[in-house]
Amino acid sequence: VKIHSFTRKLQNEWRRLSLPETGGRVVAGVSGGADSMALWLALDELRGAGRLNVEIVVAHFNHGLREESAEDECFVARTAEQRGSAFVSGAGLVSRRGNLEQEARRARYAFLQTAAEAAGAAYLLTAHTLDDQAETVLLNLLRGAGPDGLSGMKPLRPLHNPSSLIPHPSSLILARPLLRWARRAETVDYCRARGLEPLRDAMNEDEGFARVRLRRSVLPLLSSFNGRIAEALGRTAELLQADQEVLQHAAAELLQKAAPETSSGAGLLRVDILRPAPEALRLRALRLWLEQGRGDLRRLELKHARAVERLLEEGRGGRVAELPGGAKVTRRRGALIFHAASKTEVEKGRAGG
């Protein structure tokens, strides 16, 4: 059976990522837009051609943020019925406080994770494309992110708190089989080739979002310098990911040496081990240690890690570094000590955040 070139590329990447080809289920997050519809249709094409024997569960999250939300859900549900795909949907209350885009993403992932666990799926698929990757790298660069942010999204990662640096045991893997190669225009073309007109997401047109402005103004301008800018940014992200893996591993080893007795929480951190280590590893080990103490890295910026780092230097600056949320780090007799936030401070922090 002849398959479409888009579908063939998806199959190549599916194998490269060692995703399951026989047995079991995967859950695909489907908004109804071109990217997720193309992913779904192409997986369906592989199943029809006998090249993939995995059940696809279509999961749609209705964030209720715009008028057409209910219609969108109907469109995906109807398509699933026509194609005989399993379909689940969820609705979520998205807090309009704070960053709307971030809140919507958090609610969506929470639903998708629950859906995948309920379906007994080992993989959750999202349809992020090479264009999404390029935008992510640039947005992080504009925000002044460090090497980790510049390395963009990973094609495979355990699904847990994405800001965590500590590997958690997790049976659920987030897979992005379009990330390394698919252009957004290709997904539209492929949907149409399969006789389906995907939805347009109004959020993709709202210039209130930095991502949309970036897509419309910055990327076209950068294309005048390099016609293959998305591919270039994607390649840069991959090289940086390979670097981060090595550095993160070395930092965990360093932390193990500097705070060997830690079984849970953050133990005493030995200054004599940490201070002479190279800056890149020292800073990462400190962040790991702070994550162990705080439980996560939320709101922890470079300047906070730098303040803790300064405690390593004898006689420089204060003897205490305050962290967002109320925790703090002090130095005593050649060791750094992590002090968790008191309960009151944690509540103050929540009210403020």
What are the C-alpha distances in Å from 248 to residues 87, 149, 166, 245? Answer: 38, 14, 10, 5
**144 in contact with a copy of itself (CB under 8 A):** yes
Q: How far is CA 31 from CA 3, 7, 72, 75, in A?
A: 24, 19, 8, 10
Min dist. Cβ of residue 148 to a copy of itself (A): 9
Q: Which is nearer to a copy of itself, 68 or 206 (CB)?
A: 206
Question: For a copy of itself, which is the closer residue by CB, 49 or 232?
Answer: 232
Bridge partner list, 53: 22
DSSP secondary-structure letter at 336?
Answer: E
Query: Closer to a copy of itself at the Cβ: 280 or 337?
Result: 280
Stretch in the footprint of a copy of itself (CB under 8 A) among 9-17, 120-128, 144-152, 154-162: 144-152
Q: 318 is written with which tokens?
A: 């204060």
Residues 196-255 that bind a copy of itself (CB under 8 A): 210, 213-214, 217-218, 221-222, 225-226, 228-229, 231-233, 235-236, 239-240, 242-243, 245-247, 249-250
- Rounded Cα distance between 270 and 275, Å, is 9
Beta bridge partners of 332: 335
**Residue 256 near a copy of itself by CB under 8 A:** no
Residue 170 or residue 226: which is nearer to a copy of itself going by CB?
Answer: 226
> How many residues sit in the footprint of a copy of itself (CB under 8 A)?
39
Pick out residues in 310-329 that bind a copy of itself (CB under 8 A): none
Q: Of residues 170, 257, 302, 342, which one binds a copy of itself by CB under 8 A?
A: 302
Q: Which two tokens stand for residue 94?
A: 């998205």
Cβ closer to a copy of itself: 53 or 217?
A: 217
Question: Is 54 or 254 the residue whose CB approaches a copy of itself more closely?
Answer: 254
CB of 17 to a copy of itself, least distance (A): 15
In the complex, the smallest distance separating the C-beta of residue 198 from a copy of itself, rounded to whole angstroms, is: 28
Dihedral-angle region of residue 195 (phi above 0 means left; psi in -120 to 50 means alpha; beta otherwise)? left
The interface with a copy of itself within residues 276-295 (CB under 8 A) comprises: 278-281, 283
Structure tokens at 327: 């925790």
Question: Six-digit token pair at 13?
Answer: 């990447």
Name the residue nearer to a copy of itself (CB basis): 70 or 302. Answer: 302
Q: What is the DSSP string of 202-217?
A: GGGG-TTSHHHHIIII
The answer to the question of residue 134 lying near a copy of itself (CB under 8 A) is no
**Side-by-side strand order, sheet with 320-322:** 269-270, 335-339, 328-332, 320-322
Alpha helices in the chain (DSSP H): 5-16, 34-48, 69-83, 100-119, 130-142, 147-150, 184-193, 210-213, 219-223, 229-258, 271-274, 279-294, 302-310, 343-352
Residues near a copy of itself (CB under 8 A): 141-147, 150, 210, 213-214, 217-218, 221-222, 225-226, 228-229, 231-233, 235-236, 239-240, 242-243, 245-247, 249-250, 278-281, 283, 302
